[in-house]
Chain A
Amino acid sequence: MIAKQNPANTWIVDDDSIYVYGLKKLIGMTQVDTLLSHFINGLEAVNALKSIKEDHLLPNIILLDINMPVMDGWEFMNEFAKLKPQMRKNITVYIMSSSLDLNDLLRAKNISEITDYIFKPVRVNHLKEIFDKLPQSYDQQILKYGA
């Protein structure tokens, strides 16, 4: 991909600092043009979503862990669903968890705002796919949703 003037925004919501370190490195290796932000639990991410006034600062992708203290991934999704109607940007949410529990998988499937469930640790190819699926650029989004 060619670097754009307005790079995508990727948020990582995960309390596992080692994993986040690795994920950032891996995203760097895919040479995807994206800005990265890290939140250590759901609440921090919700607060950030609420406080952002400018659309282009909102994330294009959220990579969400399930098990986190204070506010876990499920609770975050509840809050996210409430905030979504007010947001003029298409945000894609991926669950990224090491849980193989079928209940977690089914639960994620039943939440329409969740695009997919990715098992940790994520592979480079999988990451590339995720970013390739993104709407081509932020500029196009502006055309689509209006500024």
Chain B
Amino acid sequence: MSFSEKGKLSGDDIHLIPLINDLDTGIWKYNFNTKEVKWSTGFYAVLDYQFNEIECSAYTFFEHLLYHGDKPVLLNAINNRLAENAPPLQLRFLTKKNGYRWFETTVRKVDNEHGCIAYGSLININRYKHNDLLSAHNQTGNDDAFKIARLGIWEINAQNTGSIELSKQVYDLFDLQSQLSLSVEEFISFFESPYRPILQNAINHTLNHSRPFDIDLLLRSAKNNMLWLKVKAVPVINHFGKCTAIKGVIQDIDSEKRKLLKLEQSINLLTDQNRRLQNFAYIVSHNLRSHTGNLQFMVNLFEQTETTEEREEIFSHIKTISDSLDLTIEHINEIVKIQTEITKERKVVELEPMFKNICSALKNNIESINARIEGDFTQCREISYIPAYMESILQNLLTNSLKYSHPDRQPIIKCYTLTEGSHIYLIFEDNGLGIDLDRYGDKIFGMYKTFHQNTDAKGIGLFITRNQIEALGGTIKVDSTVNIGTKFTIRLA
């Protein structure tokens, strides 16, 4: 059946019939009272059927062609009063060749002498709907991917560097509401201060020279979370090669970065330990060798010498060598002990009484050069440490200051504690000879490195001190000026 067949259009409208039939759009009509159904030729065509190939009936329409899931939507639309400009319905109809397809249909109702009639058009919207669904699917897919990768997008327009466009994920990373609009400056201010100039420079560089960048920066989010982010960007350039915009991504690399930093830290620690071990091996070989070499030397000389007088002299040297050898072995023992003692339990060490004990043990040395010793442990009175280490550290540094005091003035030696954040520092300051650090640098903590022509310099004290401090995870640093004095800063914990 068709409109033309039944000729339901009448009067002036009769000439519209061929036009309607030509359209690639179907028209349907449904009479509520008679249950009579009419379809245009186009109706068949859009569903891939030949004209009259299927029976034109309400039953076919509702039970066969219309997807059962969409039935309530359509029934709802034709049974209820409809707003004048209600949007078209999107429904699925069964086509002859391609299964269910998406169609759009308008629904209009009229009440006249023929009864209550609903009619509407039917347009194939499958392609659009399909794309729609696909893009919605992609969007969810992308959103998920971005979310999982903790990856956000940002963009700066070169014409308007006042503001920065950020994707939702960036706001999430920054712990910000996504409505908030940020200027580039504000955006940069979320990074920790040492990283701000890095980012600013990188952005400027991209704007001015079209240079892409890839940098790791530490963020402090609105909720005070510290987060390592990778900020990457590429320039968008115009035909003249000038940068018109910067497009970039931001990725949360916190856990990877922290692992990397930790790894770097352990590498540094290992490098340090390795260096100390090498130093140790060098010392053992060098010093033992120099003693045994001398011993061999003297024994040979002894054999070649005839006179008793000379032999006695040589023998006295052999005795000295034997003593030195013993001392060196003792030093080596001390160093090995640092490694074994590290497993000993830490105890609370009260610094002031310990320092006083050491001062009284060194009383003779202090009085002989009339040194003034000032100890101030008010900032930190006690610390959990291996007592033997602390004693050794204090004694070595005090001995060091006393040994290298300046002959032209009264030696003043200050020892005090400082707390800064979670760190505890022990400072040792003197007005002694000082040491040329440009020349000797880190060597002063090396073993058997001596710098002054001092007969009792053994070059072992600071080596042991540093080993003890570092063994407990601290650091020691030295500042010194020749003829002014030396300051040791020890981070205990």
**Measuring CB to CB, which residues of chain A are less than 8 angstroms from any residue of chain B?**
16, 18-19, 21-22, 25-26, 29, 40-41, 67, 69-70, 98-101, 120-121
Q: How far is the CA of A42 from the CA of B85 in the complex (A)?
A: 104
What distance in Å separates the Cβ of B307 from its nearest Cβ neighbour in chain A?
12
Please name 20 further chain A to chain B contacts, defined as beta carbons within 8 Å, in addition to the given A67-B448, A69-B453, A120-B289, sorted by A numbering.
A16-B294, A18-B320, A18-B321, A19-B293, A19-B297, A21-B313, A22-B297, A25-B301, A25-B305, A26-B297, A69-B457, A98-B289, A98-B290, A101-B282, A101-B285, A120-B293, A120-B294, A121-B293, A121-B297, A121-B300
Chain B minimum-CB-distance residue to A29: B304
What distance in Å separates the Cβ of B380 from its nearest Cβ neighbour in chain A?
36
Partner of B317, one of A18, A41, A98, A121: A18
Q: Name which of B297, B301, B457 has the most chain A CB atoms within 10 A of its CB.
A: B297
Q: How far is the CA of A133 from the CA of B320 in the complex (A)?
A: 34
Q: A18-B317, A18-B321, A70-B453 are in contact. Are A26 and B289 (CB under 8 A)?
A: no
Residues of A within 8 A of B451 (CB): 69-70
Residues of B within 8 A of A25 (CB): 301, 305
Contact B289 A22 (CB under 8 A): no
Residues of A within 8 A of B239 (CB): none
For chain B, the bracket of interface size reads: 20 to 34
Q: How far is the CA of A41 from the CA of B450 in the complex (A)?
A: 12
Chain B minimum-CB-distance residue to A41: B453
Chain B minimum-CB-distance residue to A40: B453
Q: How far is the CA of A19 from the CA of B286 in the complex (A)?
A: 14
Contact A101 B286 (CB under 8 A): yes
Chain A minimum-CB-distance residue to B298: A22
Residues of B within 8 A of A16 (CB): 290, 294
What distance in Å separates the Cβ of B317 from its nearest Cβ neighbour in chain A?
5
What distance in Å separates the Cβ of B410 from its nearest Cβ neighbour in chain A?
25
What distance in Å separates the Cβ of A132 from its nearest Cβ neighbour in chain B?
20
What distance in Å separates the Cβ of A80 from its nearest Cβ neighbour in chain B?
17
Contact B320 A69 (CB under 8 A): no
Chain B minimum-CB-distance residue to A120: B293
Partner of A121, one of B282, B296, B450, B453: B296
Contact B453 A120 (CB under 8 A): no
Q: How far is the CA of A21 from the CA of B297 in the complex (A)?
A: 10
**Measuring CB to CB, which residues of chain B are less than 8 angstroms from any residue of chain A?**
282, 285-286, 289-290, 293-294, 296-298, 300-301, 304-305, 313, 317, 320-321, 448, 450-454, 457
Contact A22 B301 (CB under 8 A): yes
What distance in Å separates the Cβ of A104 from its nearest Cβ neighbour in chain B?
9
The 14 listed contacts between A and B (C-beta, < 8 Å) are: A16-B294, A18-B298, A18-B317, A19-B293, A19-B294, A25-B305, A26-B297, A40-B453, A98-B289, A100-B285, A101-B286, A120-B289, A121-B293, A121-B297
What distance in Å separates the Cβ of A31 from its nearest Cβ neighbour in chain B?
13
Q: How far is the CA of A13 from the CA of B300 in the complex (A)?
A: 22
Q: How far is the CA of A90 from the CA of B133 in the complex (A)?
A: 94
What distance in Å separates the Cβ of A44 from its nearest Cβ neighbour in chain B?
9
What distance in Å separates the Cβ of A34 from its nearest Cβ neighbour in chain B?
18
Residues of A within 8 A of B285 (CB): 100-101
Residues of B within 8 A of A21 (CB): 313, 317
Residues of A within 8 A of B289 (CB): 98-100, 120
Chain A minimum-CB-distance residue to B457: A69
What distance in Å separates the Cβ of A46 from its nearest Cβ neighbour in chain B?
14
Q: How far is the CA of A8 from the CA of B387 in the complex (A)?
A: 59
Residues of B within 8 A of A22 (CB): 294, 297-298, 301, 317
Contact A18 B301 (CB under 8 A): no
Contact B286 A26 (CB under 8 A): no
Residues of B within 8 A of A26 (CB): 297, 301
Q: A22-B301, A101-B282 are in contact. Are A70 and B452 (CB under 8 A)?
A: yes
Q: How far is the CA of A100 from the CA of B457 in the complex (A)?
A: 23
- Closest CB pairs A-B (n = 3): A121-B297, A98-B290, A69-B450
Chain B minimum-CB-distance residue to A101: B282
Q: How far is the CA of A136 from the CA of B321 in the complex (A)?
A: 37
Q: How far is the CA of A120 from the CA of B290 in the complex (A)?
A: 7
Contact A99 B286 (CB under 8 A): yes
Chain A minimum-CB-distance residue to B450: A69
What distance in Å separates the Cβ of B275 from its nearest Cβ neighbour in chain A?
13
Chain A minimum-CB-distance residue to B281: A101
Residues of B within 8 A of A67 (CB): 286, 448
Residues of B within 8 A of A29 (CB): 304
Q: How far is the CA of A100 from the CA of B282 in the complex (A)?
A: 9
Residues of A within 8 A of B453 (CB): 40-41, 69-70
Contact A69 B454 (CB under 8 A): yes
Q: How far is the CA of A120 from the CA of B300 in the complex (A)?
A: 13
Residues of B within 8 A of A70 (CB): 451-453
Residues of B within 8 A of A98 (CB): 286, 289-290, 293
What distance in Å separates the Cβ of B483 from its nearest Cβ neighbour in chain A?
15
Q: How far is the CA of A16 from the CA of B286 in the complex (A)?
A: 13
Chain A minimum-CB-distance residue to B305: A25
Q: How far is the CA of A18 from the CA of B291 in the complex (A)?
A: 10
What distance in Å separates the Cβ of B448 from its nearest Cβ neighbour in chain A?
7
Contact A121 B294 (CB under 8 A): yes
Q: Name which of B294, B296, B448, B452 has the most chain A CB atoms within 10 A of its CB.
A: B294
